[in-house]
Chain A
Amino acid sequence: MIKHKYMILRRLTQIGVMLLYVGANFWGWKVLEGNLSASKLFEKIPLADPYAVLQMTVAGATLASDVIIGAVIITVLYALIGGRAFCSWVCPINMVTDAANWLRRKLRMNQVAKKPPVYRNARYWVLGLSLILSYLLGVAAFEFVSPISMLHRGIVFGLGFGWAAALSVFLFDLFILKNGWCGYVCPLGGFYSTIGRFSLIRVTHDAEKCTECMHCKEVCPEHQVLFMIGKESIPVLSGECTNCARCIEVCNDDALNFHIRSFAQQVKKEK
């Protein structure tokens, strides 16, 4: 097996999705038009960012059916294949934060860094706040500050100062807080965490094979979801897992793998 199989696959999807959007704008490709906020697949199927649609609805917008159908399609899709799969397989900011995290490891910054505070829940507060502000201001509040949209839209339609937003995220993750943006702040990540709570594709841990080297915890951007490492043979059920498969790649003992979630098994365990 290739060592970085999933990493390569993720980069291919991230860049591939981006390329399809860029191709639509510059060369008129009819595969995926628009951008991550809303798009059209093969000129027929509408797709839309359910979090943006939610904010707009709270802001009081009367929306056309296209965008609502699109939002439902995307919601169902990520609810099935792992909510935050968006974060590690599609979101363009992932490459920025991965780069920051890689540099942190190379510079051994994690050794000098203080133990990060456990405010992983901050993203849900930001999520709630974004909805309150959308309601009060009458516009989708996060959509006006989102570095994700700025970077993504910028690459497809013209960047302007959008690079500054991406650079800010990079610096934040590099110097201020490990996995800071994706792991603590981003409300879109919080949104997909909520949606993906019951998704089918799960990383599963086999404690009997585990030698407790803890490489997986080191590399995981959401290491709190790997609490069972070396202790229990259970799947990673937290919605905060991004299904990035970095833990699977670094595991030399084959103790971590993707599995389709089996609800039957869980029920048995709970009994």
Chain B
Amino acid sequence: MKNDAGNDRRKFLLTMARDVGLLAFGGFIWSAYVDEAVANKLALRPPGALKGKDFLKTCIKCGMCVEACPYDTLKLASPGENIPIGTPYFEPRDVPCYMCTDIPCVPACPTGALDVESVSTDGKLDINKADMGVAIVDEKNCIAFWGIQCDACYRACPVMDKALYLEYDKNDRTGKHAYLKPIVDPDYCTGCGMCEHACVTKKPAIIVRPRELVMGEVGTHYVKGWDKKDEKRLENAHEIHTVTPRSEKKAVDTLNDMGGLLDD
């Protein structure tokens, strides 16, 4: 009898262990897959989309933004496209965002993954606040940088002269012509991709990528001394003294101390 009870207990424990083991096994495969599936950060999102992981977290993949888009710009990622599955994105070389002033895609979102606040000024929708990405120019393959006159991207830009302006430069090669170089100002660029769509080169020499991939970050210890606003950051700054055993001597003394090297 006692033995039976022992067997039952053993059976119970082993069954439990097996179930938990199976669960962990499944969990590891599942989470590894999901981790890979959400890894691609290259996709351009609709206007007003929350940033990075917050967007993936909040988007329910219903496609109502896609249906609201009058230009068929937006698509839902399907399996095999290597973009987090079911999430909305667009490829500006095919169809850019035409920056509708009423931004129909954003209010269509039921979850707030497309945030109305982020594309509004004083409670009114303002597409110029959209931040879908930033355009970058490949100066090697942009023919305007060769000296050939082309301002296709500049003409296409809906925030012309702010987000994309032409910089004039003299062409030393010919001695009598000018360069009209397209320059992007990321402060104004919305990432709509009309420039990429308009670019005349075989593969576009101006492309849009998500802002967090394109932009660098300076760090707080650099201060623009010529900028009054930035200089203000120093107002409350105070000196920091680091005290170590070496602090006993002045730096100059330490340098002048030959440590007996010249004694002879």
Contacts and interface: CB of A to CB of B under 8 A. Distances in A.
A123 B109 CA distance: 31
Interface of A: 24-25, 33-35, 37-40, 46, 48-49, 52-53, 56, 59-64, 66-67, 70, 125-126, 129, 132-133, 136-141, 143-145, 149-150, 153-154, 156-162, 164-165
Interface of B: 19, 23, 26-27, 30-31, 33-35, 37-38, 53-54, 56-58, 60-64, 66-67, 75-81, 84-86, 109-112
A133 B30 contact: yes
Contacts of B27: 129, 132-133
A221 to B, nearest CB: 22
B82 to A, nearest CB: 10
Contacts of B79: 150, 154, 160-162, 164-165
A153 B80 CA distance: 14
B15 to A, nearest CB: 11
Given A24-B67, A25-B63, A156-B63, A48 B80 contact: no
Given A63-B111, A157-B78, A53 B19 contact: no
Contacts of A125: 19, 23
Nearest to A24: B67
Contacts of B54: 61
- Which of A38, A59, A138 is the most central at the interface, judged by chain B CB atoms within 10 Å of its CB? A38
A153 B37 CA distance: 17
A40 B110 contact: yes
A159 B78 contact: yes
B246 to A, nearest CB: 46
A199 B161 CA distance: 63
B58 A62 contact: yes
A139 B63 contact: no
B61 to A, nearest CB: 5
B62 A144 contact: no
A37 B87 CA distance: 12
B30 A39 contact: no
A63 B35 CA distance: 22
B31 A133 contact: yes
Given A64-B110, A70-B110, A37 B62 contact: yes
B78 A49 contact: no
A35 B19 contact: no
Contact of A46 (B19, B34, B110): B110
